[in-house]
């Protein structure tokens, strides 16, 4: 994966819009130097310094930092330890932490969750076990999972363990699985579920026609999912290649105006279905960095939210994430990270 970093020409193409608006980046990753996508706190810090008022962030599991020995159920806890240590006391970074637990076995899941809570120093907020599945393997890559995981009784039992601890469940899946997620939300009304990356409107045809083909089914499934009051939605992730916008293939990176124009139909559907108080913007960096800069991304979101009220903007950019991940300790300072 080729990562494009912040460059001075971005300042000319995309001067910061509404620079005082507090932002909690609701979804990002960190990887140490030498990882397959090296992106440590120093790398993230360069993006955070691009001009937006990022007052806090939510670190989401990315299969890094696992303990190399000891009890198998506690090895994923090393990632929470990594996130706490990597933040190094920097105000707001990894204020919320979403870790991994194997939800196919409720006994193992319970042990892992308790380990994360103990290691999180008050920051551990929730768990993510992705269920993304598609009949076309090229859309998934190496981490293929069996279909129908959300419907398995053992998986549901593990999710009940998540709810008992007051934690949330993040999930990355494709739009063809949204009906399964809706059924899961019905079965576990006490569990707060966060659908990642717009609910996965992916296409196997990397063309405008391919996107148009899946837009209708995605819209219908997302609107139905939104009828479940315990579901939240992350707005972002559309820099990934299987969303087929093609920005990563361009010789120059898109401006925020170009991003906003491409994404407007999707954001309109999502916010109208869920309401601003159940949506939150995410960067999905560094994965989405292959397609655009951090500066242009948040400017694009600000363009898309331009017609929203002050309260709606607050929800989209910070308050939904603050509530969902229980990071009330962030006080929305005037200065950015």
The pLDDT assigned to 5 comes to: 44
The pLDDT assigned to 6 comes to: 40
pLDDT one-digit tens code per residue, 246-259: 999 999 999 999 99
pLDDT tier at 134, thresholds 50, 70, 90: low
pLDDT one-digit tens code per residue, 243-302: 999 999 999 999 999 999 999 999 999 999 999 999 999 999 999 999 999 999 999 999
Whole-model pTM?
Answer: 0.93
Domain ranges of the chain: 21-324
pLDDT tier at 330, thresholds 50, 70, 90: low
Q: Which two tokens stand for residue 36?
A: 């397959």
CA distance 299 to 244: 21
For the cut 70, the answer to whether the pLDDT of residue 315 exceeds it is yes
21-324, what's its fold?
TIM Barrel (3.20.20)
Task: List all residues 6 or more positions away from 32 whose beta carbon is below 8 Å from its beta carbon.
Answer: 38, 40, 64, 65, 82, 86
The pLDDT assigned to 210 comes to: 85
Q: Which two tokens stand for residue 30?
A: 């960190």
| Sequence-ordered alpha helix ranges (H) in the chain | 9-13, 41-48, 77-87, 106-119, 153-164, 178-187, 208-225, 256-274, 294-304, 310-314, 320-324
The pLDDT assigned to 132 comes to: 87
């Amino acid at each position: 994966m080729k990562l494009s970093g912040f460059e001075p020409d971005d300042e000319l193409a995309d001067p910061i819009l509404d620079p005082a608006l507090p932002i909690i980046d609701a979804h990002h990753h960190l990887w140490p130097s030498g990882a397959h996508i090296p992106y440590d706190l120093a790398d993230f810090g360069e993006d955070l310094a691009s001009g937006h008022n990022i007052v806090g962030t939510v670190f989401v599991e990315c299969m890094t930092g696992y303990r190399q020995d000891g009890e198998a159920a506690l090895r994923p806890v090393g990632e929470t330890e990594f996130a706490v240590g990597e933040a190094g006391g920097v105000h707001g970074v990894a204020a919320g932490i979403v870790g991994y637990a194997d939800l196919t076995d409720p006994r193992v899941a319970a042990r892992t969750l308790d380990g994360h809570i103990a290691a999180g120093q008050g920051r551990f907020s929730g768990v993510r076990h992705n269920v993304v599945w598609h009949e076309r393997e090229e859309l998934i890559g190496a981490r293929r999972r069996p279909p129908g995981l959300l419907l398995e009784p053992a998986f549901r039992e593990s999710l009940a363990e998540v709810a008992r601890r007051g934690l949330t469940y993040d999930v990355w899946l494709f739009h063809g699985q949204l009906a399964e997620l809706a059924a899961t939300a019905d079965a576990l009304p006490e569990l707060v579920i966060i659908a990642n990356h717009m609910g996965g409107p992916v296409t196997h045809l990397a063309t405008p026609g391919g996107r148009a083909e899946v837009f209708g089914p995605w819209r219908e499934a997302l609107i139905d999912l939104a009828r479940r009051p315990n579901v939240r939605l992350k707005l972002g992730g559309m820099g990934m290649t299987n969303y087929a916008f093609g920005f990563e293939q361009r010789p120059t990176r898109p401006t925020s105006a170009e991003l906003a124009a491409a994404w407007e139909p999707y954001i309109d559907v999502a916010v109208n279905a869920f309401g601003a108080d159940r949506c939150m913007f995410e960067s999905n960096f560094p994965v989405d960095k292959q397609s655009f800069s951090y500066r242009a991304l948040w400017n694009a979101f600000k363009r898309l939210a331009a017609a929203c009220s002050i309260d709606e903007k607050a929800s989209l950019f910070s308050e939904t994430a603050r509530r969902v991940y229980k990071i009330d300790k962030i006080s929305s300072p005037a200065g950015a990270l």
